[in-house]
Amino acid sequence: MPLELTLHKAAEEVERGDLASVLRARQRLVGLVCSYPDRLDLRERLAGVCRLLGDAAQAGRWSYLSEVRDEAEVAAFERAYRTPLARLTAMNWTSGEAGASTPTARERLVALREAANDQLHAELSVADDRDSSWRTNVFVLIGLVVVLLCFVVGAVTLVMWVYRWFAG
């Protein structure tokens, strides 16, 4: 269905006001945002429908890059997606900061990407600090050698048993 026709149907469904129609409108707008992830106007319409449904976290998610946004909704979004990396993933923005059509959206994307990078660097530095000691590595190596020896002894035993069975 073409973009304008889908937007028109979604607007009609929102005007009807009953829950089933508003849910259908939300589904149509989610589909449009997935198809056109870098269109801020579609995100704002979806945020409006989520706001109408009382879903503050999703309204904050879809209005996160907007010029005017409700800080309570943004806080709900940040509580629902606790880490910057989770928020960046939830934004479903595909074209990077350069694809943002407004300076505000670019600034917010840059800030979110930098926070996500800081989070990844922090997680990687913690992972580097958790390297095993040489004693642990030696015990693991000894364990692997023992398991390999058991496998070889078992395989030789099985081959000899089969040979004796056939040889009679």
How far is it, in rounded angstroms, from Cα 104 to Cα 68? 10
**Average predicted confidence (pLDDT) for the chain:** 91
State residue 47's pLDDT score.
96
Residues in the chain: 168
How far is it, in rounded angstroms, from Cα 58 to Cα 163? 69
Q: How big is the CA angle at 93 (ends 91 and 97), to the nearest 5 degrees? A: 115
3-state secondary structure 24-62: HHHHHHHHHHHHCCCCHHHHHHHHHHHHHHCCHHHHHHH
Domain regions of the chain by residue span: 3-129, 140-168
Neighbouring residues of 34: CB distance < 8 A, sequence distance ≥ 6 = 92
- pLDDT (mean) for 86-93: 92
- 130: pLDDT confidence band, cut at 50, 70 and 90? low
State residue 95's pLDDT score.
83
Q: Where are the alpha helices (DSSP H) in the chain?
A: 3-16, 19-35, 40-53, 56-62, 71-80, 84-91, 103-129, 134-167
Using DSSP, state whether 69 is helix, strand or coil.
coil
- pLDDT (mean) for 106-115: 93
State residue 168's pLDDT score.
72
Q: How big is the CA angle at 69 (ends 115 and 119), to the nearest 5 degrees? A: 10
How far is it, in rounded angstroms, from Cα 17 to Cα 12? 9
State residue 43's pLDDT score.
94
Query: Which one-letter DSSP state was computed for residue 71?
Result: H
State residue 99's pLDDT score.
82
- pLDDT (mean) for 138-150: 94
Q: Is the pTM of this model over 0.75?
A: no
Task: Note the pLDDT tens digit of each residue in 53-83.
Answer: 999 999 999 999 999 999 999 999 999 999 9
In this model, does residue 160 exceed pLDDT 60?
A: yes
State residue 129's pLDDT score.
56
